[in-house]
Every structure is written in structure tokens, then in C-alpha cells.
Structure 1
């Protein structure tokens, strides 16, 4: 007997119910058929994994339904295949991660909303695929603010910022995210690489309490110890100075579009 379990959906799910107009029901049926085509036959080598994924699939269906029912009926349009098809296909491997699963559900529903379809973009599928949970939480946290302060430590030839090297790369704190400096910093770099955020080296007066909190973080322990050891006036080694740089994280125009349709 094969050790592979075959999972089949019993029928195409209904995403929009009988209470809506025939046109809306037809839109829901179209999406259900695409969903069925993507998920109807999936092979899982382990029974435990199969059961887990069936439960995740039910949650995914519910996530999409909740998003669709938030769209006014007169705003519903047929699912665009260039977004919905690849999004469902890609999401097979991410539905166990709630925050990523919900992003895919929101992207799919946004592409079916006439007010948001122009903001949707197929590249957003690849963006979500390159997220982990920390980055998903970070982009949400940033989107809820006008800006998010960050801090970094560089050393450079004294008086010459053009010859410099980061010692502590851009770092910030994100409420609700239990991650260390290296994880947060790597996530900032990834969001920047994906074109979702700018790092703007301009501080604002309202940043000061937050910046002081960041400087007191354990990531800067070595910096504080060096500064105390050398003294403020001698805090340089062979014409190499250490300098705290601050700035703010802002969404790019591309990032604003992503947030609008995926969060």
C-alpha cells in the first residue's frame, strides 16, 4: 500500500451564498471552481500532516469568505485569473501560517473589489512568499503609523561619513513581536529589498523618547561599555569614530499599495 494519502475536496466550496443576487452567486461559484481546481488533489506523505492541512484549508476558506462578505455586493467583480490563480497556487505552502494565509485571502478578495482591483498586482504574491511571520507583523505595525524610528551604529573616519561601516545595522522595536536584534534588523533589510519601505535618515523631535529606549536596548550594550570606558571626549580609535545614526522607516508608494490590498 502506498504511504501517500490522497486528499480530495468533496465539492467546490461556495464563497457567496443564496441570499445574494444571481450575479454575485456566479462570481462566488467561479472563485469556488478555481479554488477546487487548485486544491482538489493534494498528496501528503504523512497522515498527521494531511489532517493538519485539511484543518488549515478550512480556515483558509473561512478567511476568504469573511473578506468577500466585507465587499459591497455592487462592488464585486469576477476573480482575475492572473492574480487569483497564482495566489491560490502559491498559498498551498503557506496556509499553516495564519498571518500569511490572511494576506493571501485579502489579496484575493481585493482583486475582486472594483474599488481595489487597480491597486492589486501579481507581484504581491511573490512578496508574501518572501515573508516570514516577523515581517508580516512588522509591515502591519509600520502601516499603522506615519513613520517608525530606527537606530544604527556606524564607525567612520572621523568627520567623514562617506567612509563608514555599520556595526549595528538599522534596528527598531515592534510592539507584539518577540524577536531579537538580528531578526528585526534582517527583517528591515528584507522589507527594504522588496521595495516596501524607505529608510529615511531624518529624525523628528517626537522620536526622542523612542530613540532613547532603543539605545538602552541590549543590542547596544557593547557600544555603551566602550563609550564609558573611553570617555566621551576620547571615544575614537586611530581616527575612527563611533556614531549613532537615527532615522525613520516609511512605506514606499509600492508598499502603500501592498498594504491597501493585502492587510
Structure 2
């Protein structure tokens, strides 16, 4: 038996405060469900795309105004076309800014040779936290100590009580688990080098004294009173690599 439910939802980006009112049938056929999905796409995507492109155009203008007029060139189609496509469906301002900087870089004689076609795909596969973490790494411009912190007992460790990677250098950027996922994603995209090893002259025992680690350890102890927990620090390092430096020069730095 199917059931009709009335849905009132405030539309997000591009809606101008409009409210979408519709009926959701919990017993739709596959064909009906597909048609509804495609209809929503046809109705709302063109407006979303237009607003995203308009915003990209504004950002591009801001970036090109930083360039000397004699240094401005036509864009490279191989990069410009997929960049515009990616920007047209992005709903994160910081990601659209990366697209704008990349497009502007292809039009700047001082940066054009560094605007690699792979940068479009890299931006496509980044989110806002990835961009924030990469910006922080670029700003630090040095080896960054990172730790795999585990709470161990009897040769085992508790799962999911600490992010896979943690560093005090990223405190304040947001949720620590989101930051850890961004570190892993940036490493996957080869925008940073993340490796097992220590930063010279850095005492990794500082991780044990970090407020976040101490709070998570206290939480683990409270919820595991029958276990004798200890903190284990596995030493890692983040370094900016050549392609990441090139990406930052085009897409992040002014």
C-alpha cells in the first residue's frame, strides 16, 4: 500500500528563498521515480548553473584585476571547458574560488605554464575542508608533524575514538575527523606527501599533552573502566610536494 506525504522544503543555493512543495509517494514505480528525478533536474539545474557561472565570472574578474593587462592571455580550452563545467555544479564558495584561480592562471603569462590540466580533476575531487587544510599546509611551508594516536590495551586498541591522523597544527579548522579525512584525500590526490617518519627536533610526546587528545583519552577511560588504557603515538610527517606546490602557486596563492 502506498502512502502520500506532503513535503515542504526550503530550496538551497539558487532558490532565492523559494519553497518547494510536492508530494512524495512512498510506493513509486522505478519509471515514475526516474521521471520525477529528471523533472527536478530539468526545472532547477539551469538556474543553479547560471548562478554558479555568474559567481565564477565575478571571481574571475577579481582574479584577473590582479594581473597586469599586458600579461593577460586567452584561456586554454583544455582547462577552461572542464573548469567551467566543474564550477557550474559546485555549491561551495571556496571550491569555486579554486576554479576561478585556475582559470585565471591559464590567462596569466606568469602562471600559465604551471596550470596543469590535472588540476581540474583535483579540484573536482576536493571539498571545502580539503581546501582549508591544503591552504594551512601551504601557509606553514614546512614539515608538519602528524600522529596516529591510539588508545591501547593488552596489545589491542580502541577503534573510532580518535581520527586516523591528528595534528595540533590544524586545530581550529573544524571537526578533527573531517580534517583527518582531508589529509588522507590530499595524499590520495598526491597534493601532499604523507609518510611514516618524524619531523627532526620535534617531540612527538607533545601529542599526549594536546587538549584534544587528553579529552578523547579521558572519554575513552570513562567508557572503558575495565581496561587499562595507554596512549600510543605513531609518528608521521606531512610535506608539500612539487605538484602540490605548483597547484598552490596557481590555485591558492595570489
Matched, 1:260 2:249: yes
Find the residue that maps to 1:118 and give its secondary structure. Answer: helix
1:36-77, CA deviations, whole angstroms, 9 ceiling, x for partnerless residues? xxxxxxx95345x65555433322111000111111112112
Residue 216 (str. 1) matches residue 205 (str. 2): no
Distance 1:77 1:128, change over 3 A: same
TM-score, normalised via structure 1 length: 0.65
Report how far residue 98 of structure 1 moved: 0.2
SS of 1:170's equivalent in the other structure is: coil
Against the structure 1 CA distance between its residues 61 and 176, is the aligned structure 2 distance closer, same or farther, given a 3 Å change threshold?
farther
Aligned to 1:65: 61
Match in the other structure for 1:22: none
Q: 1:219 to 1:74 in 2, by over 3 A?
A: farther
Over the aligned positions, Cα root-mean-square deviation in angstroms equals 3.4
Kindly state the Cα deviation for residue 199 of structure 1 after the two structures are TM-superposed: 2.0
Q: How far did residue 112 of structure 1 move?
A: 1.1
Q: Note the C-alpha offset of 1:103.
A: 0.2
In the TM superposition, residue 140 of structure 1 has moved relative to its aligned partner by 0.8
Deviation at 1:138, TM superposition (A): 0.8
Pair 1:54–1:90, CA change in 2 (3 A) = closer
Measure the CA separation in 2 of the matches of 1:257 and 1:166: 39
Q: Distance in 1 between matches of 2:247 and 2:193?
A: 14
Question: Which one of 217, 235, 238 corresponds to residue 246 of structure 1?
Answer: 235
Contact 1:153 1:166 in 2 (8 A): no
Query: Paired residues, what number?
Result: 204
Gaps of 5+ in 1: 1-42, 159-163, 236-241
Q: CA deviation at 1:216?
A: 2.4
Q: Where does residue 191 of structure 2 map in the other structure?
A: 196
Q: Is there any run of 5+ residues in structure 2 with no aligned partner, and where?
A: 1-39
Over 3 Å counting, the alpha-carbon distance change for 1:45 and 1:209 in structure 2 is farther
Indicate the residue corresponding to 1:93 in structure 2: 89
Shift of 1:218: 2.2
* Equivalent runs, 1:229-240 vs 2, <5 Å: 230=228
CA contact (8 A) 1:75 1:113 kept: yes
- Residue 178 in 1 paired to residue 174 in 2? yes
- The answer (yes or no) to whether the contact 1:149–1:207 under 8 Å persists in 2 is no
